[in-house]
């Protein structure tokens, strides 16, 4: 069973801790009345919506603890049912349990990811170990596991319906992986480790957030050389909001750092901004994460050794597409040589520019983006700032809705302001309907801007997942970004990379909306597969239909010129050395850390020595340096699984070739129908490798990835 929590964020925060609850909101006569608004059944249109306008931090503690109490009572009733265990009275009842707690977790996830505050973090620190204990009480409930095992054993001789069989197998495997078959002493130790880890994850995450909020670089007017006008206006607006009039704020977030390093002509300031960003969690102070990481690695190893595994990666990957650490490393090692070879070529091009200009420097990490942009202009006559004028966030939103209409037959209609409660004034909401029948699919929420208390990056959440169990549930999903909010009256212009990420996260939302499963458990996914659908959706950004209709100039409204489109497509594999290497370095380090002996590990030393062994180019860092690698160390969702983006990208490149070869191209009706039927709608109801074969007629080939990135195919072993 996949970790079942209401929000993606919380599953990352407490990944590995199984919460046996669903998004069902069915009330029964036996359930006690609850007064806390965060526990109450959602009311209003669209099958009920979260009361975001009524949520308060002070209600969180009571809501989570009361929700846990109710859920444990439900689980005890299931475990102590005197009737023989059946799928209906055991597994279906587990699917039905936990409605109140799931609603509370929705609000908890919002406070944690989108609206964090010192007050919330204090409450979170208290709750996380209690949530861990709650999870252990379920996974270590012997009577409950006996009933699950009885249903599982019976299904091995008399198979259930296909979706029921998948549910029982996921449930059984999850309990087994989380210590259900340990002896009492082992269970106690396993639960204690899980509880300790949960607290450390929270501290790690809060340390990173502290460094993001407190390392701000303020510029004066004479330090703005090279910066685009819209960026300058946004920086001034942020500084003003922080009480620094007549200054310009570069926040310690990727959305601020990246464009500054790309355009600023102030090399010393580039180094300062770069250092602030890549030193998050690594400043030798009370917020330093290195010792926490060492302890996480030791506890994770100890935890899986209790289960009989030699290392954490071996335990984690057994139910992923890769199956083993060796398979995951094999893919990454096949791509790595080509990636760093391309970096050497890119650096040579950049160094030539610096030398030609008589600048007497050696390319350093804070120079890479700046000189890459110059090379891009020279090689392809392509100016990223020129491209940016055609990438307005509002128009990109329309483009995504257009793609969803063509592929999924969805229509997105803005919900009038004030109709649906939101937790932040900048949020917008759309109703999603089927274009043919008019049937409501759900609601799509968009929270686009960076702000204090919001974690960095971009992600998708589900507030309510689809299922037809106990009545159809429509989907409530959101996309969350960290774009720097433009000055009043200005359009929000983004880079091509940011536009790609915007499409990527919308792919996750479409995966939620397209779900066609009966049981809530099946609405989950396999980590090295669920990124595939979102990565694939990125490809529609560069289709002619999107470019010609939605990429229009910010001021003139004119479509992007054909000449510029050609330049963009010609430069499609430009800087792939940088993007592939910075990602792969993080993914390989993730795996190496969890395969190494953690007994006396020096995290900083291990990072440096491992990167040296890999011949990591000195001119660029890992995308996520270890001290702020939240994917891996603020929870367990991506631990030893960050490779999954590359695994999914093999599927993506292979599927993209199928669309490129189809008669109707990327909008081919027959292939789009297969895309939805086999790759989106089943979610986790079908084993991922089998689902992909049903779509493609064969397994994906790594050669497609190498072609896609412009790497020599012969480098694949």
More confident: 530 or 399: 399
Fold adopted by 8-139+141-181? 1.10.1370
What does the pLDDT read at residue 23?
Answer: 34
Distance CA 295, CA 420 (A): 44
At 59, list the tokens.
């209600």
pLDDT, tens only, 139-186 = 999 999 999 999 999 999 999 999 999 999 999 999 999 999 999 999
Query: What is the rounded average pLDDT for all residues in the chain?
Result: 93
What is the pTM for the complete model shown? Answer: 0.89
Average pLDDT over every residue of 223-243: 95
Provide the 10 A C-beta neighbour count for residue 109.
22
pLDDT, tens only, 467-521 = 998 888 899 999 999 998 998 889 999 999 999 999 999 999 999 999 999 999 9
Domain ranges of the chain: 8-139+141-181, 215-278
pLDDT at 2 over 70: no
pLDDT band at 682 (very low <50, low <70, confident <90, very high): very high
Distance CA 344, CA 577 (A): 8
User: What single string gives the DSSP state of each residue in 498-550?
Assistant: HHHHHHHHHHHHHHHHT---SSGGGG---HHHHHHHHHHHGGGGGSHHHHHHH
How many Å separate Cα 142 from the centre of its chain? 34
pLDDT, tens only, 571-604 = 989 999 999 999 999 999 999 999 999 999 999 9
Q: What is the rounded end-to-end Cα distance, in angstroms, of the chain?
A: 34
Average pLDDT over every residue of 130-134: 94
The answer to whether 460 and 478 have CB atoms below 8 angstroms apart is: yes
Tokens 């939620």, located at residue: 512
pLDDT at 5 over 60: no
- B/e letters for 477-511, b = 16+ CB within 10 Å, e = fewer, are bbbbbbbbbbeeeeebbbbbebbbbbbbbbbbbbb
User: What single string gives the DSSP state of each residue in 283-323?
Assistant: SSSTT--HHHHHHHHHHHHHHHHHTT-SSHHHHHGGGSSS-
């Amino acid at each position: 069973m996949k970790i079942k929590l209401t929000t993606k964020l919380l599953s990352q925060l407490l990944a590995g801790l199984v919460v046996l609850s669903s998004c069902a909101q069915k009330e029964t006569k036996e359930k006690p009345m609850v007064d806390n608004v965060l526990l109450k059944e959602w009311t209003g249109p669209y099958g009920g919506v979260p009361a975001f306008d009524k949520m308060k931090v002070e209600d969180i503690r009571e809501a989570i603890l009361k929700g846990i109490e109710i859920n444990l009572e439900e689980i005890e009733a299931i475990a102590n049912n005197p009737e023989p265990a059946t799928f209906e009275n055991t597994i279906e009842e587990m699917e039905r349990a936990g409605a109140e707690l799931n609603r509370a977790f929705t609000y908890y996830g919002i406070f944690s990811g989108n609206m964090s505050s010192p007050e919330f973090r204090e409450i979170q620190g208290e709750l996380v170990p209690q949530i861990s204990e709650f999870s252990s009480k379920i996974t270590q409930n012997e009577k409950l596991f006996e009933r699950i095992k009885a249903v599982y054993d019976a299904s091995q001789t008399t198979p259930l319906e296909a979706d029921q069989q998948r549910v029982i197998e996921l449930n059984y495997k999850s309990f087994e992986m989380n210590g259900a078959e340990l002896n009492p002493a082992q269970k106690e130790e396993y639960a204690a480790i899980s509880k300790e880890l949960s607290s450390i994850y929270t501290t790690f995450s809060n340390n990173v957030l502290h460094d993001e909020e407190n390392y701000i670089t303020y510029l004066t007017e004479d330090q703005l050389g090279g910066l685009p006008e819209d960026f300058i206006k946004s920086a001034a607006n942020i500084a003003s909001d922080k009480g620094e009039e007549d200054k310009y704020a570069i926040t310690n977030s990727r959305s601020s750092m990246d464009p500054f390093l790309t355009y600023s002509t102030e090399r010393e300031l580039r180094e300062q901004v770069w250092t602030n960003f890549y030193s998050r969690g690594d400043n030798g102070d009370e917020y330093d994460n290195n010792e926490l990481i060492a302890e996480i690695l030791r506890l994770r190893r100890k935890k899986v050794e209790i289960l009989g595994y030699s290392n954490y990666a071996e335990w984690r990957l057994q139910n992923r597409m890769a199956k083993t650490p060796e398979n995951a490393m094999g893919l990454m090692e096949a791509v790595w040589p080509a990636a760093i070879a391309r970096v050497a070529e890119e650096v040579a091009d950049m160094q030539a520019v610096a030398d030609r200009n008589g600048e007497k420097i050696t390319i350093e990490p804070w120079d890479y983006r700046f000189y890459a942009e110059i090379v891009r202009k020279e090689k392809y006559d392509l100016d990223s700032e020129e491209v940016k004028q055609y990438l307005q966030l509002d128009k990109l939103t329309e483009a995504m809705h257009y793609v969803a209409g063509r592929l999924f037959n969805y229509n997105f209609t803005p919900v009038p302001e004030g109709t649906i409660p939101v937790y932040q004034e900048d949020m917008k909401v759309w109703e999603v309907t089927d274009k043919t029948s008019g049937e409501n699919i759900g609601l799509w929420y968009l929270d686009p801007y960076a702000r204090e208390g919001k974690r960095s990056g971009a992600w998708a959440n589900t507030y309510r997942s689809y299922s037809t169990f106990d009545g159809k549930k429509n989907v409530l999903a959101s996309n969350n970004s960290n774009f720097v909010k433009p000055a009043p009256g200005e359009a929000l212009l983004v880079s091509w990379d940011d536009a790609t990420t915007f499409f990527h996260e919308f792919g996750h939302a479409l995966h939620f909306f397209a779900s066609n499963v009966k049981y809530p458990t099946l609405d989950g996914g396999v980590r090295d597969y669920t990124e595939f659908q979102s990565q694939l959706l990125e490809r529609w950004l560069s289709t002619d239909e999107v470019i010609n209709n939605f990429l229009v100039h910010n001021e003139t409204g004119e479509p992007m010129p054909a000449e510029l489109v050609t330049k963009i497509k010609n430069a499609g594999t430009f800087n792939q050395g940088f993007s592939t290497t910075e990602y792969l370095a993080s993914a390989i380090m993730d795996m190496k850390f969890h395969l190494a002996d953690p007994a006396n590990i020096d995290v900083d030393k291990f990072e440096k020595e491992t990167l040296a062994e890999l011949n990591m180019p000195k001119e660029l860092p890992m995308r996520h340096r270890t001290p702020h690698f939240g994917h891996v160390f603020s929870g367990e969702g991506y631990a030893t699984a960050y490779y999954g983006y590359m695994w999914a990208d093999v599927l993506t490149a292979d599927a993209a070739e199928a669309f490129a070869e189809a008669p109707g191209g990327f909008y081919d009706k027959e292939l789009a129908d297969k895309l939805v039927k086999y790759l989106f709608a089943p979610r986790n109801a079908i084993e991922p490798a089998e689902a992909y074969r049903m779509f493609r007629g064969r397994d994906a080939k790594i050669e497609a990835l190498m072609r896609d990135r412009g790497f020599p195919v012969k480098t694949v072993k």
